[in-house]
Amino acid sequence: MRIKYTISLVFFVALVIIEKENNIISRVSDKLALKQTPQTPLQPSGLSHILPKHNASFTMLSKTNSAFSLIKRRLENYSQHKEVVTRGSKHILLLATTRTGSSFVGEFFNQQGDNMFFLFEPLWHVEKMLTLETGGTNATASAKAYRDVLQQLFLCDFSLLESFIEPLPVNHITTGLFRRESSSSLCQESVCSPVIKGVFERYRCRTRRCGPLNLTMASESCLQKEHRAIKSVRVRQLENLRPLAEDPRLDVKFIQLVRDPRAVLASRMVAFAAKYKNWKQWAIDGEVPIDDDEVRKLKGNCDNIRLSAEIGLRQPAWLRRRYMLVRYEDIARFPMRKATEMYRFAGIPFTPQVKSWILKNTQASKETSGVYSTQKNSSEQVEKWRFSLPFKIAQVVQKVCGPTLKLFGYKFVSSEEMLTDKSISLIEDKVFNFV
């Protein structure tokens, strides 16, 4: 009886240590203010199903050993992470909005090689759950949640993200991570679990068939990488990410990707036809109600992008040498040059693997250039919108997004003829000081 009591006490202490260690690594205080599904508690090794159910002492002892093993492994990983930071680990956050070419530019880092851990739109889960719970997106709650999830992911901690994944992962295993196949890091052999017969995997990895994603394995793989990069189109204001820049454990570089708002609207009208049905109708009718909610939303989007860029370009102390502004049009016209600049800014070696990918994927044929494809004939993409967006719609964008167009160096059009005249460039030669 005394042995069972002692083992139980040791196991309880182990669980307390796990909880304290989690609190040290994971800053989740703001998360508690949000209404959410409780996070799956940390599980031991998951061997209970093969242990003799009648032998309680043996089961408890196994759990105790598993608990201490878990503590040891997580503390070793945390210690290892601190060593990685001190020897020059970089954290890159690619900020953009939808239809700005962010998936294409994200591949510049996704293709970097074995020393890069890349995540594609992890905040998709956060936005989805907050929207479901509140009936809309609360800007303040979203900003805090986005910031905290990004901070933990840069530290290779997936625990907070887990609480936003639906359905909730079981023993840190999920089949529902958004666009897993878009992250080569999550498809590497070390993270690729065996395919389980009868278990549906929503997305398959490009290079191999993998079973459900084990987020513990993903965390351990992340800790082995020297650099980490995340691509997101969901952060509205750069100012909200200041704690990331001031976190001594991180060395974050922010790259803000922008595109001509007229081109963005034209692309969204094709990619998100149902959501932009009003714009499509206005394009046919030739008249746009300037006070419509959709027009106000467009103005709000432009203002958010501009305000973030203005903060970045001012280079406040917390952003000094941490912010870079890049136009999609410049990347499309000069992909290798701009990629070189981004890598130089990030302080990461520009590998032959990335160069090879860029050469291959900037000369794609029409057959391979789908709406969501990362293969583009990049020079053609710059001008394509000018022949699909009616002049009346372009005028509305210029009216509500005028300051944004001016800041980023996009020229206004004054007539239908000017809009469709390819001999007239709508892109000013402009250098943005980001260092």
Q: What percent of the chain has pLDDT over 90?
A: 65
The average pLDDT across 354-379 equals 66
Put residue 369 in one of left, alpha, beta given phi > 0 → left and psi -120 to 50 → alpha. beta
The pLDDT, as a whole number, for residue 200 is 53
- 370 inside domain: no
Q: What total of structural domains would you count in the chain?
A: 1
H-type alpha helices, 26-55: none
Three-state SS at 305 = helix
Secondary structure (3-state) at 429 = coil
Does 88 or 327 have the greater pLDDT score? 327
In this predicted model, what pLDDT tens digit does every residue of 240-266 receive, in sequence order? 999 999 999 999 999 999 999 999 999
In a domain, 291, yes or no: no
Residue 12 has pLDDT above 60, yes or no: no
In this model, does residue 360 exceed pLDDT 60?
Answer: yes
Does 106 map to a domain? no
- Structural domain contains residue 348: no
- Please report how the helices 277-285 and 261-271 are oriented relative to each other, as an axis angle in degrees rounded to 10: 110
In 3D space, the residue among 164, 175, 163, 259 whose CA is nearest the CA of residue 214 turns out to be 175
Cα–Cα distance between 152 and 147 in angstroms, integer? 9
> Among 202-216, 249-263, 319-333, whose mean pLDDT is lowest?
202-216
Q: Which residue has the tokens 């210690």?
A: 79
What integer pLDDT is reported at residue 434 of this predicted model? 53
Considering the domain boundaries, does residue 68 fall inside one?
A: yes
Q: What is the pLDDT of residues 139-152, one digit of tens each?
A: 889 999 999 999 99
11 lies in some domain: yes
Domain contains 38: yes
**99 occurs within a structural domain:** no
- Whole-structure pTM value: 0.78
- Flag whether pLDDT at 21 surpasses 60: no
pLDDT class of 226 with cuts at 50, 70, 90: very high
- Domain with 15, as residue range(s), is 2-80
Q: Is the pLDDT of residue 35 over 60?
A: no
For the four alpha carbons of 136, 138, 141 and 143, in that order, the dihedral sign comes to positive
pLDDT at 379: 64
Q: Is the pLDDT of residue 79 over 80?
A: no
In this structure, are residues 219 and 156 in contact, taking their beta carbons and an 8 Å threshold?
yes
Higher-pLDDT residue of 27, 259: 259
